[in-house]
Structure 1
C-alpha cells in the first residue's frame, strides 16, 4: 500500500487512522532533531529529508537532478518504514543503533540494509529515533556518500 501524494501534508492526511498518531510522532522526532541543512519533501513516494541541490549540486547519482536522499519515512501495507542512508553507509552508526535499540524497546529491531520496519505501533523507540536523527550532519553525509561512491 503505497500512498501516492505530491505533498507532505497530503501524505500525512492519507495515513490510515490506526497509524496517524505514531507516524506523526516519528515524523516530528526526525524533523525536530535533524541538524540544520537538510530539506524535506516527497521522494520515491515517501516523505524524505535530503541534502538540497543548492548545497550539493551533484545531487543523487542514481537520479541526476534529485537532491541527495538521507532519510525517508513511509507507511507501507504492514508496517511503517524508516530508511536511513547514513546507517547503510557508515557501519559504526548502524552498530550504535543496533546496540542502543534494546535500551528503548522490548522488541528486536526488524531491519534491512537501510530500512527499519515497525510492525507494532505500541513499541516504537521515538527517543532513539530522535538521537539517530542528530548523529550525522549534512557535511558528514556528503563526505561519506562521496567516499562510498568513489569506491565503486
Structure 2
C-alpha cells in the first residue's frame, strides 16, 4: 500500500510508533550526508532524494515528468527499506558497500538490486549509510544513470 503523505514529516507522523524513530534517524543521516544538489521530496509514496528537473531536465526515463530518483526510504510491512539507485549503476560502490556492511552490522546483508532491507531496526548501520550517501554527487549519479541507458 502506497503512503499518501505529501511531506516527509507527515510520512513519519503516520508511521507505527516502533518505526518513527528509525525512519527519522535514517532520514536525518541522509540529510546530513547528502551531497549538495539532491532534493528531498515524496517519491513513489516514500521519502525520496532526487536530482531535480532544474539539474537534469530529462527526468526519469520511465516517466520524464518525475525527477531522477537517487534514494528512497520506506517503512514496509516487514522491514525498513533503503533504495539506492546509484549502487546498482556503480559496481565499485556496490562492492565497497557489501564489503563494509559486515563491519557495521551483526546481521547478514539483506539486499536486492537497489533495495537494502533492515528487518532489525535496532541494528541499522547509520554511519555506513551516511558514508554511502556521501559517495555520489548528482553529477556522478547522472553520468552513471546515463550509462545504464546505453
- TM bucket by the smaller chain? over 0.9
Q: Provide the residue aligned with 1:16 in structure 2.
A: 16
Task: Give the match's secondary structure for 1:62.
Answer: coil
Pairing 1:133-144 to 2, within 5 Å after superposition: 133-144=133-144
Pairing 1:32-111 to 2, within 5 Å after superposition: 32-111=32-111
Cα RMSD of the aligned pairs, angstroms, is 0.9
Alpha-carbon offset, residue 97 of structure 1: 0.4
In 2, the alpha carbon distance for the partners of 1:39 and 1:5 equals 17
Q: Provide the residue aligned with 2:112 in structure 1.
A: 112
Alpha-carbon offset, residue 4 of structure 1: 2.2
- 1:4 aligns to 2:21 (yes or no): no
Q: Provide the residue aligned with 2:132 in structure 1.
A: 132
Task: Give the match's secondary structure for 2:48.
Answer: strand
Contact kept, 8 Å, 1:3 with 1:75, in 2: the verdict is no
Q: TM-score, normalised by structure 2?
A: 0.97
1:72-104: CA deviation from partner (whole Å, max 9, x where unpaired): 000011110000000011111111000000111
Q: TM-score, normalised by structure 1?
A: 0.96
> Aligned pairs, how many?
150
In 2, the alpha carbon distance for the partners of 1:67 and 1:35 equals 17
Unaligned 5+ residue runs, structure 2?
Answer: none
Unaligned 5+ residue runs, structure 1?
Answer: none
Contact kept, 8 Å, 2:70 with 2:84, in 1: the verdict is yes
